[in-house]
Structure 1
Amino acid sequence: MHTQKLILLAVLLLHLFTASAQEQPDIKLSCEEIETLFLQNNLELIAEKYNIGIADAAIIQARLWDNPTLSVSNVNLWSTKAQEREINDPPHSSYLKNTEFSIELSQIIQTANKRGKLIRREKVAKEIAQQEFEDVLRGLKTELRKSVYEIQYAQAYIDVLVNQQNSTNPLVEAYKKQVQQGNMAKGELLRLQSSLLELENEINGLRMELAQQEKTLKVLLNMNPQTHIEIIDKPHKEKNPEQLTLSDLLQQADEYRPDMKQYRLQTQFHRKSLEYEKSLRTPDVTLSANYDRYGGVWKDFVGFGVSIDLPFLNRNRGNIKAAQLSIAQNLSREQQQQNIILHEVAAAYNNYTQTYRFYKKIEENSLLPELDTMLELYTKNLLNKNISMLEYVDFMEAYRSNKQTVLSAKKELTMQFEELQYLVGTDIQ
């Protein structure tokens, strides 16, 4: 019985070890699903979002009143016989009979609506935190999409090279047999094998690049490093730049760019700070109530008081001046940022227009639809010795170059469009 339990335990442990050692299954995702996972799982976004909660907490803190102050003073812990003779309490009054003390309760009342002005300033600070989050989201989303485009390009180009490899492998095997039978010179086999090795080397290099891009994507999605992602969507259809107008893009950038909004909100924040600093010139009022036992003429004295600072020496001039200078400084930065944004969008629009024209030119003149058929024909013709090895190798290089040029142009077009969207600050419809 004991032996059976040990065998069962060993089988269970082996099963668990095997299951943990297995690689995670491949995951097929669309671009929409990738962006949904990104919004849910990206750790940098989650961390950045806490800043909005921190800004909310600052607003809550600004709403709070100052705590009242309770003070107990003038307490004598013992008394002399002379003091006892001076105090003529009734016999039953033994508790704190000969103790003198005073108690005071005070509360600061803020004037000039300081609390309201501080709350309004903190609300602007929250809007700045929200725009900072949007700016981080904008940058990470662009990085995510560019990583997706890189993966799509690598996967598509690897398919092209693997197709070439599958066509070349049977040729190598057939030439090996011909060389062994003495029907063919070994030089042609070596030329074919060399071409195949170059092909395999390029495939390996692309797979390493693909692994690097997948790593970037999985970090952005916070996924298991063993998971292999396959993107099932085709690249987005390109948008004709003639359907876009530069003036509209410039207007959208001025309206939607989170960094531009941050500069404007920062100016607004300094204006709220100026209002708050000016309100500090008005002194606050402190209301108090106190009780005094044996401290004066009367045995039990209750009194009330009001205190206020005299604003003769400190009128908060330094902080007010600093707030005024901060407004002027930020207005200059705001204009500078606006100027930078306009030039960035104009340059990106021109780059996209040129890339689009180049891609369309390639697409119109490309033999891409016929290349796969021609590959099959060239392979058959080489086997039948209708063409030379040199013609076949030249075609294989032209085949690979043509496919790569089209795929690279398509990738560059999507990258440039994504860069344009990033600089405009919103998805271009």
Structure 2
Amino acid sequence: MNRFRSFNQFALMLLVGWLGVISPLFAQRPTAAPDTIRQSLPQLEQLFLDRNFQLLAQRYQIDIADAAITQAGLRPNPNLWFQGNLYNPNTGKFLQYGPPSQADKDAGNYNSGYYAVQLQQVILLAGKRSKLIALAESNKSLARLAFKDLMRILHYQLYTTYTNLYFDLQGLRLFEDELARQQRLVESYRIALRTGGVAPYEVTRLEVAVRDLQANSANYRTQIADEQATLRVLLRQSAPTFILPTELPALRTSLPPVATAIDSALTNRPDVSLSQEQINNAERSLALEKARRTPDLTTGILFEKYGNAYNNFTGLQLAMDLPVRNRNQGAIRSAETTLKSVTGGLENQQTIVQSDVLNAFDKLNTFYDQLNTRPDGYLDRIQNISVEATKAYNARTIGLLDYLDKIRTYQQAQLNNITLLNNLYNTQQLLNFTTNTRFF
């Protein structure tokens, strides 16, 4: 019996050794699919600026606001009015506009050619036209700032998605490597199980570990699919291509002074400028509503043939509404309330900006501490834990529980490193986002 068991262990050693020789062949990954596009972050950013639908649509809002400035500067059109004789019952004629005939004169009809022409022009008073232009210019500034803020938000989404994709692919690669190694080990132990060289529970426990690795790989694949979908929308890319990130910028571990970051945020963030411009816009809107208390003046000239005090009457016309009941009180009160509302919004937005910057600093300092307190040579020491553990388990120098514990330790150590780097890059981009400044 001992001889048979020794033979089984010897056969198991040969099988594992043979699998170790051919394992590089199994570990080779297929070449990238034809629809895979390798993109660096600068390349992706240029595609984003050229193609993103939301940016293009917001640019049109600026053009619309610019057209509104042109419209606000246009003066009211003059009004031309004509009135003439359709049917003259005295003469029995239609559209009689010429001078009276001798027969009409003999009959006493001297006004048979009656008509009147009136030309009127509305004149805007109280500087309404200039105030309309000023309000339209403020609306254009709001549209431009909204475009800048949208670009800031979408840039951050692009950077973080690219970074998450980069590190999620590393996490997937880690689990795929471990999955390939574990599957080879399970296959070898299934063969050994038939000869009685290993216990059934060992194979079952290894199969459970394989299923865990498959579940982790599936989770990463779904995350990568979501990130690919986000990039396709950001780049307006309908083709079924896979965007493969190539590299990230070198990691920098120095922070700017907090005061500098806050000053940069208050100066450069479009949402702060947007709040300030909203106050300006409300002030201009209030000035326009107050100007509308003053009625506009309508001037005109009237020429009337045969219909007034004498035959060829030319009159001057002036008309204005009397501001007795309607002095635009409701619109003025509404504009005053809007001004009070947006004035308080600026202070609140400045508080939010400062809080955002401090939050990004706190997160960065946490991750920097985690990075800087790592022992020397830590990454080198964790690289071979999985391979050495597999060798030791095959040689029966460690048991199953010890082996699985070492495998979990290796996976967790690698994942912690990937997650830390991902958090560092994303939090650096968060600081850039909250300050609208390229510190990293």
TM-score by length of 1: 0.84
Q: 2:50 aligns with which of 30, 36, 40?
A: 40
Change (3 A) 1:299 1:370: same
CA-CA distance at 1:380 after TM superposition = 3.0
**Contact persistence 2:78–2:122 (CA under 8 A):** yes
**Contact persistence 1:294–1:300 (CA under 8 A):** yes
* 1:12 counterpart residue number: none
CA distance in 2, matches of 1:33, 1:318: 54
CA-CA distance at 1:247 after TM superposition = 1.1
1:132 aligns with 2:180: no
Q: Where does 1:23-34 land on structure 2 (aligned, <5 Å)?
A: 25-34=35-44
CA-CA distance at 1:62 after TM superposition = 0.3
Deviation string for 1:64-93 (max 9, x for gaps)?
A: 110110111363522315999xx8545799
Q: 1:425 aligns with which of 413, 417, 436?
A: 436
* 2:179 counterpart residue number: 165
CA-CA distance at 1:112 after TM superposition = 3.4
- Alignment-mate amino acid for residue 416 of structure 1: T
1:295 aligns with 2:307: yes
* 2:342 counterpart residue number: 330
Change (3 A) 1:235 1:159: farther
Deviation string for 1:22-43 (max 9, x for gaps)?
A: x971111111122222222222
CA-CA distance at 1:185 after TM superposition = 3.0
TM-score by length of 2: 0.82
Equivalent residues, number: 400
SS at match of 1:302: strand
* 1:52 counterpart residue number: 62
CA-CA distance at 1:250 after TM superposition = 1.3
* 2:414 counterpart residue number: 403
SS at match of 1:234: coil
CA distance in 1, matches of 2:193, 2:333: 92
CA-CA distance at 1:427 after TM superposition = 2.8
CA distance in 2, matches of 1:367, 1:387: 23
Deviation string for 1:177-227 (max 9, x for gaps)?
A: 333333333333333233222212211222122112221222222222622
1:175 aligns with 2:186: no
CA distance in 1, matches of 2:100, 2:214: 111
Unaligned stretches of 5+ residues in structure 2:
1-32
- Alignment-mate amino acid for residue 426 of structure 1: T
CA distance in 2, matches of 1:317, 1:183: 96
CA-CA distance at 1:103 after TM superposition = 0.8
Unaligned stretches of 5+ residues in structure 1:
1-22
**Contact persistence 2:91–2:112 (CA under 8 A):** no
Q: Where does 1:26-425 land on structure 2 (aligned, <5 Å)?
A: 26-73=36-83, 75-81=85-91, 89-90=101-102, 98-224=112-238, 226-234=240-248, 237-241=251-255, 244-311=256-323, 314-362=326-374, 364=375, 367-425=378-436
CA distance in 2, matches of 1:378, 1:340: 51
CA distance in 2, matches of 1:353, 1:59: 48
* 1:11 counterpart residue number: none
CA distance in 2, matches of 1:48, 1:229: 26
CA distance in 1, matches of 2:381, 2:239: 39
CA distance in 2, matches of 1:133, 1:237: 30
Change (3 A) 1:213 1:90: same
Deviation string for 1:131-183 (max 9, x for gaps)?
A: 11222222222222222222122101111112222333332333233333333
**Contact persistence 2:111–2:307 (CA under 8 A):** no
**Contact persistence 1:152–1:235 (CA under 8 A):** no
Deviation string for 1:214-251 (max 9, x for gaps)?
A: 2122222222262212111136514423xx11111111
Change (3 A) 1:88 1:370: closer
**Contact persistence 1:73–1:102 (CA under 8 A):** yes
CA-CA distance at 1:308 after TM superposition = 4.0
Change (3 A) 1:106 1:399: same
CA distance in 2, matches of 1:194, 1:281: 81
**Contact persistence 1:238–1:414 (CA under 8 A):** no
What CA RMSD, in Å, does the superposition of the two structures yield over aligned residues?
A: 2.9
CA distance in 2, matches of 1:71, 1:158: 79
- Alignment-mate amino acid for residue 112 of structure 2: N
SS at match of 1:64: coil
Could you tell me the percent identity over the aligned residues?
26
CA distance in 2, matches of 1:397, 1:328: 60
**Contact persistence 1:149–1:235 (CA under 8 A):** no
- Alignment-mate amino acid for residue 215 of structure 1: A
Which moved further from structure 2: 397-406 or 202-211? 202-211
CA distance in 1, matches of 2:91, 2:301: 32
Deviation string for 1:79-126 (max 9, x for gaps)?
A: 315999xx8545799xx9823120101112223332122111110110
CA distance in 2, matches of 1:415, 1:295: 84
Change (3 A) 1:81 1:259: same
